[in-house]
Amino acid sequence: MGLVCSRNRRYRDSDPEENAQAAEIERRIESETKAEKHIQKLLLLGAGESGKSTIFKQIKLLFQTGFDEAELRSYTPVIFANVYQTIKVLHDGAKELAQNDLNSAKYVISDESKDIGEKLSEIGSRLDYPHLTKDLAKEIETLWEDAAIQETYARGNELQVPDCTKYFMENLQRLSDANYVPTKGDVLYARVRTTGVVEIQFSPVGENKRSGEVYRLFDVGGQRNERRKWIHLFEGVTAVIFCAAISEYDQTLFEDESKNRLMETKELFEWILKQPCFEKTSFMLFLNKFDIFEKKILNVPLNVCEWFKDYQPVSSGKQEIEHAYEFVKKKFEELYFQSSAPDRVDRVFKIYRTTALDQKVVKKTFKLVDETLRRRNLFEAGLL
Amino acid sequence: MGQALGIPDSGVLAQSEPISRIDPNEPLDKLLMNKKFRQSFMAFSDSCLAGESVHFFDEVHELSKISENDCVRRIYMARHIIEKYIVAGAAMEINISHRSKQEILSTSNLARADLFHNALNEIVQLMKTNLAKDYWSSMFFLKFQEECDMRCNGYELEQMTGWNYSPRLSSVHGTDDPFHQDHLLKNSECGNDTDS
């Protein structure tokens, strides 16, 4: 109120032209503030490598103009970096296992690949990586196919090997083509550790062009050092999209190898749920990386993770996958209700099974998220 | 810290470097050797809450200027960097792997020339793949180039204000130092960190 009074006095004291100008500025600020109010703020949260940035890229592809050739090309150095870094991790990992593991013989790199390995490991430790030529691609392929490297890759969960490893290693010939332009798929697979905050604004106009909601989506880094920055975004959030990589139940954190990734996710989700600023915020839980989960679950028992230690497998094949998934989902549901104070249990909470790499799944999921949020808005406006 | 240690030419403030337009096709780690460029890139990174990487690069660069014979100074500077950027929960903790972190924390020789080598390598890659592209399309870069042109032509410079457009963020304006948020942490119980 005091502010309004002082503004009025200021208008009276100055000349009419200035007054009109000031009024116009104020009108614009007001209309901008009003427009801002209609923008729904969405946060992508979750631990490191849970798939937040892949969802972010998918939204760009689905609801913005997508990636033009220049943007696709800008991913070439990222993809090459992924290739060089990964082959180095595998080579150095094999050497370490060959020295220290009980069953060390199978990690010894063959004589033919040894020199190639040393050379690639040196390249991987450089600041600037060379262009991926046909010759280099051939050498990387030779090393990748070495039995010791394959054995090491089988223990990738202990080595911080990115999910994109197999995909890029199997596409080396295409990647090393002189006219190579990354595809949409390559861009989605490309692994970039996010630092800081990135945002996009979009409107999910579907086939029936009905929605009209405007969303502002924020993507953040997920490692522990990044989380302190999240708090800058916590005010006025419509919905949190929390990504949990359910396939990572046998992996440890990039930033702390003494901590299981799902245990960290559990604690992180709990912490987010308890934030006072999220009292009325909707929660969309994306149980992500289902594609990896369904393959892994048949080989690695879910109960290797402390959180799931009471899990009992019941069968095999597809049934077992569903059973394990439902078990994990129930754990998250329980956690949600345990961590939400009684006055908060009526906030929207939805769980989705996602594979962030799958555009169809993300599109369908986001349509559901959009519908849920619009229904919630109508409900709050007293129209439902 | 450079000042505290009496290290001359401590980077950010000195402006005695020759001014020339920079080429974005040059490797980022080379470009960052240019103080003016580093300053601009740092301002951009701070604006999208990712400044700690550039600050770390800056301080390790300062450390590299201390003579290898001057062990005492090197150790003090190394300790300062570890406390500020490396230990878990540090004021400006950087985003590096467990391995690189442990390698630094378990060293028996803090004066070692390659103490931060692997960490710096990871941070340069992080900046390259994550921040560089957005920097080139930000107003921070445009302003930097304009400043270069003006300097070459002998014009006086004005302070960089109102030029903070970034393609990464529109509505979040953190303070210059994104880590000064103790009061926020206390008010919203966010101090109950998950870090263990």
Question: Tell me: the pLDDT tens digits for A286-334?
Answer: 999 999 999 999 999 999 999 999 999 988 889 999 999 999 999 999 9
User: Is the pLDDT reported for residue A211 higher than 80?
Assistant: no
Distance from CA of A93 to the nearest CA of B (A): 12
Asked if residue A195 has pLDDT above 80, the reply is yes
| A231: chain B residues, CB-CB within 8 Å | 181, 184-185, 188, 190
A41-67+195-372 topology per CATH: Rossmann fold (3.40.50)
Residue pairs between chains A and B whose CB atoms are closer than 8 Å: 118
Same fold, A41-67+195-372 and A69-189: no
Domain boundaries, chain A: 41-67+195-372, 69-189
The beta-carbon neighbor of B95 closest among A81, A193, A267 is A193
**CA A370 – CA A350 distance, rounded (Å):** 12
Instruction: Check if A7 is active-site.
Output: no
CB contact under 8 A, A194 and B130: yes
pLDDT tens digits, A302-312: 999 999 999 99
Please give the DSSP secondary-structure letter assigned to residue A252.
B
Per-residue pLDDT band for A38 (boundaries 50, 70, 90) equals confident
Which residue pairs, CB below 8 angstroms and at least 24 apart, start in A298-302? A300/A157, A300/A249, A300/A250, A302/A249, A302/A327, A302/A328
Q: Mutate one of A158, A198, A223 to test the B interface: name it (highest B CB count within 10 A).
A: A198
Kindly indicate the confidence band of residue B175, based on its pLDDT and cuts at 50, 70 and 90.
very low
Neighbouring-strand partners of residue A44: A241
CATH class of A69-189: mainly alpha
The answer to whether the predicted template modeling score (pTM) of the entire model surpasses 0.90 is no
Instruction: Spell out which residues of chain B touch residue A194, defining contact as CB-CB under 8 Å.
Output: 130
In the set A40, A58, A146, A191, the catalytic residue is A191
Whether residue A81 lies within 8 A of chain B, CB to CB, comes out as yes
Q: Name the percent of chain A lying above pLDDT 90.
A: 73
User: What percent of chain B has pLDDT above 70?
Assistant: 69
How much is the average pLDDT of B126-149?
A: 92
Q: Is B27 on the interface with A (CB under 8 A)?
A: yes
Question: How large is the average pLDDT for residues A53-63?
Answer: 94
Mean pLDDT lowest for which of A77-81, A130-134, A178-182, B12-16? B12-16
Which residues have CB under 8 Å from A57's CB, separation 6+?
A: A187, A188
SS3 label, residue A315: coil
Tokens of B148: 């270069």
